[in-house]
Structure 1
Amino acid sequence: MSPVAIGAAAMGFGGLLQALVALGGLRRHRAGIMREWRCLWLGAVAVALYPLAFYASMRLAGVTIGTLVSLGSAPLLSALIEYRLDGLRLSRRWMIGAAIGLVGMALLSLAETGGHGVGGAHPLAGALLGLGAGFTYALYSWTARRMMQRGISARATMGATFGLGGLLLMPVLALTGAGFLDSWQNAGVGIYMAVVPMFLGYLAFGYGLARVAASLATTLTLFEPVVAALLAVLVVGERLDPLGWTGVALVVLCLLWLTWPVRPGVAMRKAPAG
């Protein structure tokens, strides 16, 4: 069973679990969810596309590049979405941090393209898919945050968004997931990913998203690709040359730069009316 199919199954079943535990909230907030149907559908489509792009990126570019580009680009794209749709002005601090992160991801891609690593066979195609995954991640984070700001509880928002996204993934699973139950190993991996990262992980993510901006929530998840890159080297056996390690270091520096405590309103300011 391919990683893309496993990812689609995990996100699909994890999303349905989100909806199941949120049934009470979905009933209470049904009217509000119906009012926000545009945000709901936009977020659900992004949820459905995310695992397809993310796991295809890792398959083509390797775990290190696929994960770092997918999750490393999400905070930058999230801030751009907030800039375009919420009228938030990007500060000099944010632009410096974004530049550091982009240079880091470029160095990682160049390291793999130059043939020094042992990741995937198509690093540039994988990096582009990673950017697509980062955009869908940022997009469903923004739509969920918008629904919460309009009075819908975090649990109902995540249940509706991920439940509908999970339903959209079912046809994909039907076409690509024939091997899901062929072995206990495949089933075990799929069940673990559905319950732990996709269900419990996104419950925690929704809790945090109700309290901080989408751009900050996605920025904090930059810890994930850094850990994934280290595990790819230590466990999977991928290699990074000095150029690639410099890219990893710059992504970490971007995370520290963007999350270091500053005075309220310094990171991004609301653009003045008119």
Structure 2
Amino acid sequence: MLNQRSALLVLLAAVLWGTTGTVQTFAPQGASPISIGAFRLAVGGGALFLLMIAAGKLQLKNWPIRPTILASLSMALYQPLFFSAVSMTGVAVGTVVAIGSAPILAGLLEWIVQKRKLSNLWIFSTILSVTGCSLLFSNRESLIIEPVGILLALGAGLSFAVYTLVSKQLISNRSSLSVTAVVFSFSALCLSPFLFLSDMTWIFNASGVAVSLHLGLAATAAAYLLFAKGLMNVSSSTAVTLSLAEPITAALLGVFLVGETLSTYSWAGLVLILTAICLLMSLTNRQDQGKVISKN
């Protein structure tokens, strides 16, 4: 059952990520998306680092520097790339390209770098989920096809795919807490200039504090720690596809908390993504059963 439990951890992480958009709507006026992203990493990275020290996991001797830098830069780049893409192409196109391309790029990276054969069920599930993601965000707004914005969105998708692949390598011989803490601390340092270049007075507002704590502690520290733990027994390509539970959560929260409405196409997209997730869960269940049989 290790694979299934790990897949559930990834799904829970995606649910926490899915709260980001709704929570940001409660941020004070003047809080720019990039400043929120930078402060989110600062709070999350700081919390993870303190937790690592408290748990006695601070063991930096012989720490792999290059993959850590690659994972940290990937996570740091994701924030400005995604927010810039959304500002240029709109929420619908930017989100679909960034989130929808990540599973495909993760699978390609596994195939090219690790020579890992992709299962037919994963390919089918990924096609379903990407199609569902496209339908989910359809009719949200007029489409803006801005080439530079599309490239930035693809860069965001690639950043998340690289982060996932490298993080899986790092946790193979390090604790998930120490890997997540170190990576996010470096990521926060990379984005720290935005804290000085942006108007940060919004964090002194009561709603600003609440938003910062949720985004930093729940949607970053807790979510990425769960994601790292899930990666221990789930392939990076499967984990990235499972993370498409994020837009499902965001859409449902928008309906029930913000008062948004979804079109028939959007509801169909939700069903497709849920179907893809169920198929991947069945795949992890088969892998669990295969391990049990091989042991016997």
Corresponding residue for residue 135 of structure 1: 158
Corresponding residue for residue 49 of structure 1: 77
Give the CA deviation at 1:46.
1.0
- The AA in structure 1 aligned to 2:270 is V
Q: Which residue of 102, 108, 112 corresponds with 2:130?
A: 102
**1:25 and 2:57 equivalent?**
yes
Q: Which runs of 5+ in 2 are unaligned?
A: 1-30, 289-296
For 2:251 and 2:235, the matched residues in 1 are separated by: 26
Corresponding residue for residue 192 of structure 1: 214
- The AA in structure 1 aligned to 2:66 is R
Matches within 5 A, 1:8-19: 8-19=38-49
- The AA in structure 2 aligned to 1:95 is I
Give the CA deviation at 1:157.
1.2
Residues 43 and 144, structure 1, Cα contact 8 Å, conserved in 2: yes
Q: Which residue of 141, 144, 151 corresponds with 2:167?
A: 144
Give the CA deviation at 1:163.
1.0
How has the CA–CA distance of structure 1 residues 211 and 91 changed in structure 2, closer, same or farther, with 3 Å as cutoff? closer
For 1:222 and 1:169, the matched residues in 2 are separated by: 25
SS of 2:171's equivalent in the other structure is helix
Residues 129 and 241, structure 2, Cα contact 8 Å, conserved in 1: no
- The AA in structure 2 aligned to 1:81 is L
Q: Which runs of 5+ in 1 are unaligned?
A: 266-274
**95-104 vs 193-202, which moves further:** 95-104
For 1:106 and 1:71, the matched residues in 2 are separated by: 10
Please report the TM-score for the alignment, with normalisation by the length of structure 2: 0.73
Corresponding residue for residue 269 of structure 1: none
- The AA in structure 2 aligned to 1:106 is S
How has the CA–CA distance of structure 1 residues 128 and 232 changed in structure 2, closer, same or farther, with 3 Å as cutoff? farther
**158-167 vs 122-131, which moves further:** 122-131
Residue identity (%): 30
Corresponding residue for residue 217 of structure 1: 239
Q: Which residue of 252, 267, 270 corresponds with 1:245?
A: 267
For 1:248 and 1:58, the matched residues in 2 are separated by: 21
Give the CA deviation at 1:68.
5.9
Matches within 5 A, 1:106-117: 106-108=134-136, 111-112=138-139, 117=140
Give the CA deviation at 1:256.
2.2
SS of 1:260's equivalent in the other structure is helix
**159-168 vs 184-193, which moves further:** 184-193
Give the count of matched residue pairs: 252
Q: Which residue of 206, 214, 231 corresponds with 2:228?
A: 206
Give the CA deviation at 1:156.
1.7
Corresponding residue for residue 105 of structure 2: 77
Give the CA deviation at 1:95.
2.2
Task: Encode CA deviations 1:110-140: one digit per residue, 9 max, x unaligned.
Answer: x23xxxx35xx66555776554333222211
